[in-house]
Amino acid sequence: MFRGIGRTARTIGASRVAVGAGVIGVAALGTSVGWLLCSGGTPPSARALPSVAAPVRQAMQPEAEAVAAGRTAAATAAPGPTGSTVPASTAPASTVPGSTVLATMAQTAPRYARPGLLADGTVPGSWYGRPSVLPVIATRPGWVQVRLAQRPDGSTAWLLARDGTLGSTPYRIVVNTATTQLALYDNGRLVFSAPAGVGTPDDPTPTGEFFVAFDEQPPQPNPGYGPFIMVTSAHSGAISDWEGSGDAVIGIHGPLGEDSEIGTTGGRISHGCIRLHDQALERLTEVPPGTPIDVVG
């Protein structure tokens, strides 16, 4: 089943309110969801590029860098494979933005190329049964521009501000594929960083500006996905159709039994998903849908 784990977002001018959705059985969606299985091993044979469809059975996510407003924040220790602590690396000295405005869609809405100019298609009210919670990247009076979860990566759209409920998230995730580290920021302050398993050279983790789409409960019996799977808006650029699912969505999840491959420094071991030690994944529990994910490398 998809998992709604009570993540929260901050409502503008108010305290936190829940934005998570209820629970829906994965069986009802079947293989229409395009899951990118990041278990290592032999890559799939189907490799045509971008097809727009389907869910995500493994989740994944990127790492951001730096500190906010010129302040340097000390990284806390990231849990290791057996519960021991692994020294967290210090993120590069660059500025990470603070809070991000989010638009939670109540229903599918018209899509605009710019304020007042209709475009083809719509802004979906949900994605694989979960409400669309979209980061706002620009505003005009009565309008907001948002990122979309659908292919191609980097898709954006304008919509009427009244078509979404505005809130915000203080968090940002940064994944650095060059240093194989994931970092979490809260209002621009580095909270922690941890070693991460990222994509191999043949199946790299895509770089760019993405966001958390929703959380999913791991399949049972749980073969190493960890406490939950964080599904992102990123899609593999090397794989378009994972095992006939119709898509290949990047997620953040547990080590899939390869803690030693992640170790204390991370590694290039997946088909594009981001793998974390379970204890590090737990540190992302409070991160709500819509939270930006920057993948750099």
Q: Is the pLDDT of residue 225 over 90?
A: yes
Report how far residue 111's alpha carbon sits from residue 92's, in angstroms, rounded to the nearest whole number: 37
Residue 195 backbone phi and psi in degrees, to 5: -65, 145
Q: Could you identify the residue written with the tokens 């997620």?
A: 251
Query: Between these two residues, 94 and 14, which has the higher pLDDT value?
Result: 94
Paired with 164 in beta bridges are 105
Q: Residue 265's pLDDT is what?
A: 97
Q: What is the mean pLDDT of the chain?
A: 75
Instruction: Please tell me the pTM assigned to this model.
Output: 0.74
Peptide bond into 255 cis (omega under 30): no
Provide the greatest CA pair distance for the chain.
55
Q: Residue 89's pLDDT is what?
A: 40
Q: How confident is the model at residue 247 (pLDDT cuts 50, 70, 90)?
A: confident
Domain ranges of the chain: 32-40+51-96+170-202+210-292, 100-169
Mean pLDDT of 45-56: 28
Tell which CATH architecture fits domain 100-169: Roll (2.30)
Superfamily covering domain 32-40+51-96+170-202+210-292 = L,D-transpeptidase catalytic domain-like (2.40.440.10)
